[in-house]
A and B are shown apart, each in its own frame.
Chain A
Amino acid sequence: MKRLVTIILLAVVAVPLVAAVAELPAPGSPEKPFRTHVAQRYLERGAEEAGTANIVKAVLLDYRLFDTFGEAAVIFTALVGVLSVLPALKRRTGHADRTDAVPQEQTTRYVVSRTVPAILVFGTYLVLAGHDSPGGAFQGGVVLGAGLIALSLAAGSDRAQALLPEHVAPWLQGAAMLAFLAFAFGGPAFGAVVFDYPPASAVPWAKEWLKLLIEAGIGLASATIIATVFWSMEGSS
């Protein structure tokens, strides 16, 4: 009975989807909406207007910055949710009580100790390289966070948490929100609309530096939020 209901449910979802897809322009066809609408303008003018070859970044940080603010707010809210659901992160100062939980496999420790520095460097590279090549703050931040998690798995969370002192961690977790706050109030101070970059005529350097500030904030926040979520789940069992 349950199986029959499931099959009917899946069919009810599948039939309209297939019927709708059959009416869409095929992938790659020139009559796709994005070939005729605003995306083409972004591609033509984006490099000049946003000053970056990476049009995805131009959309993210120039044309649709407000969406990016929402995106950063979502991961910050997720962290707040996780921390309110799980008991507060218990930081372990002593190493003795945790050594049994750390895998003592020599291979694991060797591989992680050799790769984590490269992973962290690559994550930083991705944050910076997003300017004119594939990469970006979220991607780089996730790689940095994954590096911290790999370190936690091999060397123990206390080692990885030592990289993120207790009094610094909240500022890094909120880095993206703080960067956007500074941006939202800093822009009008230089004669811009709220949530817009100051005009180049007033402060020529402001746009590039504000973008770097936002990118760095998002990168740091993504990395620390992902690592903190992992630690708080690991701490409760």
Chain B
Amino acid sequence: MTALVDRADYLLAIALFLIGLYAVVVKGNLIKKIIGLNIMETAVFIFIIAGGLAQGGSPPLVRPDAEPPYHDPISQTIVLVGIVVAVSVTALALALVVRVHEEHGTIETSELGSGR
């Protein structure tokens, strides 16, 4: 049990991931699904950043006044890349939702599935 208490950061990320997954699976509104997808992505970023933290560490800026340990520069770079990809995915998904709304006049999956 203490093992899990020590890893509360990771558990928070998992909880956030599940909240996002819930939104993607349950919500019928396409915009809400995209919001859920973004929550899942945020959960992954929190997980990677938490994994790259050093106890009492400083940001990976190697200056004369900074001292080790530093936080992990690679995981921060990966999250930077991930955020850019997440924004790109969101932009494309939103554009598709705009098109769906233009074609069908609704973005509710229950109304879209009826096959007009």
Contact = CB atoms under 8 A, between A and B. Distances in A.
Nearest to B90: A78
Interface string A6-17: 100110011001
Contacts of B87: 75, 78, 142, 226
Given A21-B14, A78-B89, A82-B91, A53 B77 contact: no
Given A21-B14, A233-B94, A26 B7 contact: yes
A108 B47 CA distance: 38
B81 A67 contact: yes
Interface of A is mostly: helix
Interface residues of B, number: 52
A118 interface: no
A46 B11 CA distance: 33
A105 B99 CA distance: 30
Contact of B69 (A27, A35, A68, A85): A35
A43 B14 contact: no
A105 B49 CA distance: 41
Given A27-B50, A67-B81, A56 B73 contact: yes
A81 interface: yes
- Which of B4, B51, B72, B75 gathers most chain A CB within 10 Å? B72
Contacts of B53: 27-28
Interface string A48-64: 00000111101110001
Interface of B is mostly: helix
A132 B75 contact: no
A1 interface: no
19 contacts: A10-B18, A10-B21, A13-B21, A26-B3, A28-B57, A34-B52, A35-B69, A39-B73, A43-B68, A59-B74, A60-B77, A68-B81, A71-B81, A78-B92, A81-B95, A85-B92, A226-B91, A233-B94, A233-B98
A236 interface: yes
Contacts of A17: 14, 17
Nearest to A9: B25
A14 to B, nearest CB: 6
A175 B54 CA distance: 37
Interface string B53-69: 11111011111000011
A10 B20 CA distance: 10
B77 A27 contact: no
B91 A34 contact: no
Contacts of B7: 21-22, 24, 26-27
A35 B84 contact: no
B54 A35 contact: yes
Contacts of B61: 53-55, 132-134
Interface string A73-98: 01101110110011000000000000
